[in-house]
Amino acid sequence: MTPFLYRYKLMSVAEQYGIAGGTAREIAASVESGVADGALQPGASLPPVRRLAEELGVGAGTVAAAYKELRVRGVVVTLGRGGTVVASAPAVTSRRPPRVPAGLRDLAGGHPDPGLLPALTPPARVEPVPGSHRASPRLAALKDAARAWLARDGVPTDAVTFAHGALDCIARLLSTELRPGDAVAVEDPGFHHLLDLVTALGLRMLPVAVDDDGIRPEALRSALRAGARALVCSPRGQSPLGARFTPDRRDELLLVLGDFPDALVVEDDHNADIAGADAVTLTSGDLPRWAHVRTVSKHLGIDLRWAALACDAATLARHDGRMLLTSGWVSHILQATVADLLTDPEVTRLVAGAARTYAVRRDALGAALGERGIASHGRSGLNVWVPVRDESAVVNGLRTRGWWIAAGTRFRIASPPGVRVTTATLTPAEATSLADDFAEVLADSQAVYGG
């Protein structure tokens, strides 16, 4: 289908896809249903407000209110003269990753190596409890272990609580601090699930450029001046770039943040124990509003949906107040399992060995690419980011050679294109083969691009 005909069909979307309703809520629900079942794909244009109002026999204000509700919920975005279109990652559709084609080596997922994870052993016996755990939501043994874990790296531990994973925690922090339409400073390139989450909460993203040392101070200042009320960043193991804070970069960022004391600073240290980088945290700078989130899924097991949160007293009160009204507490069975793992010397040795292995694998790919004249980023974490001119050409070219990697578009807002390679299971020998294939694909794509 030609682009012109495609646009023509989208412009008559009310008829093609059956948008219906007589109230703003009904119209919004109709559009949302079309997006959820796939009839309206990302990028699809919705009719202008007045045109849809005429087709449905309602006032223009009713349609405008429906579109506003859809924007707040992250279903659609407005592109100025480009009109209203379905968001690239609408909050009502499944965000499950595509199935890896048979026969391909999967280097796209960002997951740890199962062979480097400990076996999970839940408590052998769990006694029944009267009522609920709302009065005592945190096991004392795990709270002590979490405090020791955080304090080891210089994170203040006066106020510590738990959540169901990093994104659960960050979503609760942002939703209690901000209102739809408020702006959040996020890393660019950054973690794609976080970018989707911010949009789904009805918040605006202000991109902050990242280099090997983390977010850039001048970019952060620009975002805060533009009205960002919160910052979400990773101090190490940053996905997808693999950045990590240095002491100098931390100090530069703290100078910037000192001019914006009302901004909430959220650190996502999601793979602290296997990042392969020292802990350098903004929380050491006596910030007025801050939160440091850590999870164990990357180094202890992906089924352990638990996060430790250290923060200032006001942030803890707001987080826990909202949690008590919803899920209430993290399962005590899960808490007991995590507490045993965090305090087991054998598990500690296993995790330390895993961190060394991940560093060897990550560095092997970076070195192999460098030997072939291919620049890459990956100072910490489980991934290597490779800047490229044409993401699709590289992804498809490597696919024909047996490799499955992630296109960078889902990680980017305004940053240049690239691809992400997860090195968690990539042996040094495989890294050499992948680098050879990468060089061939780049040569082929550049020849085509140059005409």
pLDDT higher than threshold 70 for residue 263: yes
The predicted pLDDT at position 16 comes to 63
pLDDT higher than threshold 90 for residue 424: yes
Packed helices 247-257 and 217-225: angle between N→C axes, nearest 10 degrees: 20
In tens, the pLDDT along 399-417 reads 999 999 999 999 999 999 9
When pLDDT is cut at 50, 70 and 90, the band that residue 95 belongs to is low
In tens, the pLDDT along 216-259 reads 999 999 999 999 999 999 999 999 999 999 999 999 999 999 99
When pLDDT is cut at 50, 70 and 90, the band that residue 447 belongs to is low
Distances (CA, A) of 288 to 169, 182, 262, 277, 283: 19, 20, 8, 26, 10
pLDDT higher than threshold 80 for residue 81: no
pTM across the whole model: 0.85
Name residues whose C-beta falls within 8 Å of residue 25's C-beta, 6 or more positions apart in sequence: 66, 69
Phi-psi region of 208 (alpha: psi -120 to 50; beta: other; left: phi over 0): beta
The predicted pLDDT at position 177 comes to 95
The predicted pLDDT at position 78 comes to 84
Mean pLDDT over residues 380-385, rounded?
Answer: 98
pLDDT higher than threshold 50 for residue 75: yes
The predicted pLDDT at position 164 comes to 97
Q: Tell me the pLDDT of the chain averaged across its residues.
A: 91
What is the dihedral angle through the alpha carbons of 352, 357, 358, 361, rounded to the nearest 10 degrees?
Answer: 170
pLDDT higher than threshold 70 for residue 451: no
Q: β-strands 406-407, 214-215: how paired?
A: unpaired
Mean pLDDT over residues 103-119, rounded?
Answer: 96
Mean pLDDT over residues 183-212, rounded?
Answer: 94
Mean pLDDT over residues 184-193, rounded?
Answer: 97
